Amino acid sequence: MRRKDREIKEMIEIESIINGSPVCRIALAENGLSYIIPVCFGYSNKSLFFHSANAGKKIDMIKKNNNVCFEFDIFEGLITNGNPCDWDVRYESVIGYGNAHFIEGSQEKINALNIILRHYSDKSFEFPENSIRNVTVIKIEIEEITGKRSGKL
């Protein structure tokens, strides 16, 4: 990271940003082209979880190349002091890399879906078997992660 003064090194702070983010952006690559998608997600034990339909572009891309990049951010406002060339954005962000894997077993899918739902709700849910069969659940095992904070009020 070029701006070491903005780097967030403490995992507790990085996890706070992850837990405070409403969306995770997943970046995939195929044939020299990048593809980025926002997903609802869950985070637990240094792993990310998200779900998908059983077919589609992201599924095809992960099958060909399971190396992913991910990003979270919390936008805290624009700082507009004087000259527009001196404006800044106050934010916290996390960027990382990992490997995506498909979760196969029904109980493992249910556990992962509950991790995702805990990010958005305090309620508990039950899943019909046909819903579990008709969803793909993906786990990203985090290999590298860094945080950054920018902008001062």
Q: How far apart are CA 143 and CA 24, in angstroms?
A: 16
Q: How does pLDDT run across 102-120, given as a tens digit for each residue?
A: 999 999 999 999 999 999 9
Residue corresponding to tokens 């077919």? 55
Residue 141 Cα to chain centre, angstroms: 11
Q: How does pLDDT run across 28-51, given as a tens digit for each residue?
A: 999 889 999 999 999 999 999 999
Which sequence spans correspond to the domains of the chain?
4-150
The pTM of the full predicted model, rounded to 2 decimals, is 0.88
Q: How far apart are CA 74 and CA 118, in angstroms?
A: 19
Which CATH code for domain 4-150? 2.30.110.10
Please answer whether residues 102 and 136 qualify as being in contact, where contact means their C-beta atoms are separated by less than 8 angstroms.
yes
